[in-house]
Amino acid sequence: MKQNIPNVITCLNILSGSIAVFFAFEGLFHLAAIFVGIAAMLDFLDGTVARLLNAYSEIGKELDSLADLISFGFAPSIVLLRLLQEAHGNIAVIVHHMDILPFVAFFVTLFSALRLAKFNLDQKQSESFIGLPTPANAIFIVSLPFAVYYGNETYFLHPLFFALLNNKLALLILIAVLSYLLISSLPLFSLKLKSFKIKENLIRYIFLVFSILLILLFQWYAISIIIIFYVILSLAEKVANRI
């Protein structure tokens, strides 16, 4: 019985990601973001429960990859697709009277699949990551329209976020950068704690403290900034380790 508990949580992840896809198609990006966030929490929870119960299984591993692809690969791609369809700009690729340029958004799904396949085969990524994890990538994408929806219009970051989401070229560049980061060789630290010792988890505690400060300073806009900070901090750790 206990072997199935993590799998049930993973199935809820798939359900949550599928609902996020629906809301993304409808252009309800704030609701899509909420369900991607729920999927991310379930993704963390299923692994934690599996470790606590020692309830690992082959079907669980396969389900986990499928859940990640739907919730953190396909759902954010649909958000980007709809944003590209609504964004301003003279860039277009017309085929049979239809602009197919927004289909570029599906590169996020494609590179997420490649990222997940590499992760499944690479045993070195148990305590750290090589390339941007799909949940972090998805959260970054959906947090942009989420911040615009829930953020204060008078806040100084609001025009910047709004301009990004309404510019086709900016969105295309964003897709290219994120797709590269997914399959890059960039080493990123894991947020998992094996103990609470400061010496063993200094980078994680720094990340936690600064994330809280960013939330206090930038409110909803902090979510995407925290993901950027995560990448920068990982790069800084890599440089520090070489010195």
Q: Where are the domains of the chain?
A: 2-242
Residue 40 has pLDDT above 90, yes or no: yes
- A 10 A CB-CB count for 100 gives 11
Instruction: Give Cα 190 to chain centroid, integer Å.
Output: 14
What CA–CA distance (Å, rounded) separates 170 from 28?
21
pLDDT in tens, 50-108: 788 877 777 888 899 999 999 999 999 999 999 999 987 777 677 766 788 999 999 99
Query: Which class would CATH give 2-242?
Result: mainly alpha
What CA–CA distance (Å, rounded) separates 38 from 3?
22
For the segment 169-176, the average pLDDT, to the nearest whole number, is 97
CA-to-CA separations, 118 to 42, 127, 150, 157, 184, in angstroms, rounded: 22, 15, 36, 36, 11
Question: What pLDDT score does 49 carry?
Answer: 85
What's this model's pTM, rounded to 2 decimal places?
Answer: 0.92
Task: Kindly state the percentage of the chain with pLDDT values over 70.
Answer: 94
What CA–CA distance (Å, rounded) separates 151 from 158?
7
Computed over every residue of the chain, the mean pLDDT equals 90
Q: Which of the 8 DSSP states describes residue 107?
A: H
pLDDT in tens, 124-159: 666 678 999 999 999 999 999 999 999 988 889 999
What pairs with residue 233 in β-bridges? none
Which has the minimum average pLDDT: 15-19, 188-192, 209-213? 188-192
